[in-house]
Amino acid sequence: MKTSRRLTLVAVAAITAAGLAACGSTSEGSSGTDYVVWDPYPQFTADAAWVKLLQSCGSKAGVTVKRTAFDTTDLTNKVLLAAQQGNAPDVLVVDNPVVSTLADAGVLTTTGDTGIDTSGADPNLLAAGQLDGKAYGTPIGANTLALFYNKEILQAAGVDPASVKDWSSLTAALAKVAGTGKKGITFSAIGTEEGSFQFLPWFWGSGARLDKLDSAEGIAALTLWSDWLKAGYAPNSVINNTQTTSWQDFAAGNVAFAENGTWQLANAKKLGFAYGTITVPARNGGAAPVPTGGEFVTVPTQKDASRYATDQKIVSCLTSADNIYATDTTLSYVAPSAAVQQKQAAADPALQVWVDAVHAAKGRTSDNLGTKYPKISEQMWTAVQAALSGSKSPAAAMQAAQAAVPR
């Protein structure tokens, strides 16, 4: 989930005239030996390794790939409109929570329809692209959340990061840090999908489920965050923090822990202090389930079903073990298969924490929530805002959220 761009959830009703302006040039429909690929990577120009891989995979399949890049929001809207017009791309790389929205709208084929092999993907990552037991694509990579920590602050506070095993030990560490005059932890609790994304490790780590926001476990997770603010362990700015501004707080050197993602690894190397990472702890120990970010490679429904055989070749090429290692390194992603993850960790041991986090990760639309997730998420981030601002108790906030979820 690389910054907020990865976090946009767009329902079918979101097709509007204002949302159709693409960040790349408009692409015509597929025809003959031209196979159209749309992706959410406008940052990659024609000479980028990703684009060269697309072209190479097309050549190996005996066709020419015509690629267009869009911002994530524009991409989803554009695909929905193109599908209505019978002019969808052959291959679509799309943010994983959007897969269920597109599948529910009849836009995507199943991997059974196209013969795409998903056996190499980790089941928990594949689940993000499943609906009613069917897979609608295969993950190209995953990013997720962990806790970065400032080694100098923890040392001054007498905290061993290895001692942080659960909520109790983490809170004890934050208290020690506060005693030195520093803030203990920063995160993003903004009233958008970013806020939900960052709250989910604590929510799931309590044992709560998204179909019951006001369970005792869910209330405990919100109480944890609320108590941290009341005690001064977390700054009040978390209510408005995006993941980017939260990172800036950490990078300034005044906060011990920061919940953030793999997409900050390049920035972490530029920090003016020594840092480390640990997985987000679950309430009673172990790694908490963290939400998966990253994209799926999918095949939209075509009028001409004979094109699926070539689509399958292109997708298989893009997600092969050799190609995905290079691609995921470029995207700062953890690979979706154990074999490639091991290769990544061997090349960079610092990635092992992120591999562990991905193993514990969970798709936001998993548990067969599908298109229900955006509605639940909106009520969840609303509850977080209410509790952290003090307008409602955690229990009242979660109870109101559950009551407001559409049936």
Distance CA 44, CA 184 (A): 37
Angle at 130 between CA 125 and CA 133, to 5 degrees: 120
Give the pLDDT confidence of 172-220 residue by residue, as tens digits: 999 999 999 999 999 999 999 999 999 999 999 999 999 999 999 999 9
Distance CA 138, CA 90 (A): 15
R_g of the chain, CA atoms, integer Å: 21
- Is the pLDDT confidence value at 9 over 50? no
Of residues 131 and 228, which shows the higher confidence score?
228
In the β-sheet with 34-39, what is the strand arrangement from edge to edge?
A: 64-69, 34-39, 91-95, 295-298, 138-139
Neighbours of 181 (CB within 10 A): 9
Q: DSSP 3-state assignment of 34? A: strand
Q: Which of 338, 308, 356, 320 is nearest to 140 (CA)?
A: 320
Neighbours of 361 (CB within 10 A): 30
End-to-end alpha carbon distance in the chain? 28
**Range 10-21 average pLDDT:** 32
Q: Which of 122, 218, 228, 210 is nearest to 172 (CA)?
A: 228
Q: What is the CATH number of domain 4-142+294-359?
A: 3.40.190.10
Query: Residue 32: its pLDDT value, please?
Result: 63
| pLDDT band (50, 70, 90) for residue 266 | confident
Q: Where in the chain is the domain with CATH 3.40.190.10?
A: 4-142+294-359, 145-290+369-404
β partners of residue 34: 31, 64
Distance CA 295, CA 70 (A): 13
Tokens of 249: 């707080």
Distance CA 106, CA 295 (A): 19
Torsion, CA 154, CA 157, CA 159, CA 161, rounded to 10 = -10
Instruction: Name the average pLDDT for the chain.
Output: 90
| pLDDT band (50, 70, 90) for residue 74 | confident
The amino acid at 12 = V
CA distances from 147 to 117, 155, 312, 362 (A): 34, 16, 38, 17
Contacts of 46 (CB under 8 A, 6+ apart): none
CB contact at 8 A, 259 and 147:
yes
- Is the pLDDT confidence value at 27 over 80? no
The amino acid at 336 = P
Distance CA 134, CA 127 (A): 9
Q: What is the DSSP string of 176-188?
A: HHHTTTSEEEE--
Query: How many alpha carbons lie under 13 Å from residue 215 in its C-beta half-sphere?
Result: 13
| pLDDT band (50, 70, 90) for residue 31 | low
β partners of residue 186: 258
Instruction: Please name the residue that has the structure tokens 């679950």.
Output: 282
CB contact at 8 A, 295 and 1:
no
Distance CA 222, CA 203 (A): 8
DSSP strands (E only) in 25-129: 34-39, 64-69, 91-95
Q: Which of 171, 180, 176, 201 is nearest to 189 (CA)?
A: 201
**Range 80-102 average pLDDT:** 94
Tokens of 174: 């934050």
**Range 143-161 average pLDDT:** 97
- Is the pLDDT confidence value at 347 over 60? yes
- Supply φ then ψ for residue 137, to 5 degrees: 150, -175
**Range 377-392 average pLDDT:** 98
Tokens of 19: 């949302």
Q: DSSP 3-state assignment of 362? A: strand
CA distances from 327 to 8, 158, 303, 323 (A): 22, 40, 30, 6
Q: DSSP 3-state assignment of 347? A: helix
**Domain 145-290+369-404 falls under CATH 3.40.50.620:** no
Tokens of 303: 């009028």
Query: Residue 281: its pLDDT value, please?
Result: 98
Query: Residue 13: its pLDDT value, please?
Result: 37
